[in-house]
């Protein structure tokens, strides 16, 4: 069985979309894959409740309880590695990861970012797209490398920017597309992986 571990910090709506896709798409039977655990750096991340309701083990590692970024990442790696993960999925995980963490999961670590990368890496992507006068915005699923919001692009979705849009309305439009492309990108990654090791 291939194990997917998802890391969240907040609402976890992308994680929920992946869990629903795994259930509805019968990933266990079709892809021999499962969401093995959902981990959060925040105890109040709403997504934890959803995961528990869907029978997925959860754990919280509060980054504030660790003396350094390196110490937190070492503990996080130990927690993740208990699941023998084939794929680690960042889904609104609001921590910058150390180079050691990224190297440890090289080739099996992916993220979703709410812009059409390489445009607008970093924070406040929707306001920045509005301020720049963009006509289109979107989201990108990409491999995680040492450089923030870089790495090979695996999937993208494009949405129009409409007159009167605010960061909130644009964010909602992009997020609904994230929920489409992220589960598909995870499933595609898992099936490619199955073929390459078959
Ligand atoms: C999404 O916009 C994602 O692109 C970004 O953080 C947000 C997470 O939302 N990385 P959710 O926690 O999945 O609802």
Tell me the CATH number at 151: 3.40.50.170
Residue 187: give the domain boundaries.
2-197
Give residues with Cβ within 8 angstroms of 38, minimum separation 6: 5, 6, 7, 8, 12, 15, 47, 48, 51, 56, 57, 58
pLDDT (0 to 100) of residue 196: 62
Q: What is the pLDDT of residues 53-85, one digit of tens each?
A: 999 999 999 999 999 999 999 999 999 999 999
Identify the residue whose C-alpha is closest to ligand 1 atom 9.
Answer: 92
Counting the structural domains of the chain, the total is 1
Catalytic-role residue among 54, 63, 113, 142: 113
Does residue 114 line the site of ligand 1, with CB under 6 A?
Answer: yes
Per-residue pLDDT band for 192 (boundaries 50, 70, 90) equals confident
Per-residue pLDDT band for 149 (boundaries 50, 70, 90) equals confident
> Is 63 noted as a catalytic residue in this protein?
no
Of 151, 8, 190, which Cα lies nearest the Cα of 91?
8
- Asked whether the predicted pLDDT for residue 197 surpasses 60, the reply is no
CB 141 within 8 A of CB 185: yes
H helix intervals, the chain? 13-24, 27-30, 47-53, 69-81, 99-104, 125-131, 167-197
Mean pLDDT across 131-150: 94
CA distance 195 to 126: 37
Beta bridge partners of 156: 140
Q: Is 63 helix (H, G, I), strand (E, B) or coil?
A: helix
């Amino acid at each position: 069985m291939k194990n997917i571990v998802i890391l969240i910090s907040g609402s976890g709506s992308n994680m929920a979309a992946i869990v629903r896709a795994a259930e509805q798409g019968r990933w266990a039977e079709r892809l021999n894959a499962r969401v093995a655990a959902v981990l959060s750096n925040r105890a109040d991340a709403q997504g934890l409740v959803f995961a528990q309701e869907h029978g997925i083990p959860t754990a919280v590692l509060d980054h504030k309880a660790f003396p350094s970024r390196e110490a937190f990442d070492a503990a996080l790696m130990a927690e993740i590695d208990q699941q023998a993960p084939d794929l680690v999925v960042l889904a609104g995980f609001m921590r910058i990861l150390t180079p050691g963490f990224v190297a440890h999961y090289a080739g099996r670590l992916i993220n979703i970012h709410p812009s059409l990368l390489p445009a607008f890496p970093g924070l406040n992507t929707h306001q920045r797209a509005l301020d720049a006068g963009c006509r289109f915005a979107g989201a990108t699923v990409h491999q995680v490398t040492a450089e923030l919001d870089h790495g090979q692009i695996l999937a993208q979705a494009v949405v129009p920017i409409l007159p009167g849009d605010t960061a909130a309305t644009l964010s909602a439009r992009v997020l609904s597309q994230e929920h489409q492309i992220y589960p598909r990108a995870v499933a595609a990654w898992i099936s490619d992986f199955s073929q390459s090791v078959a």
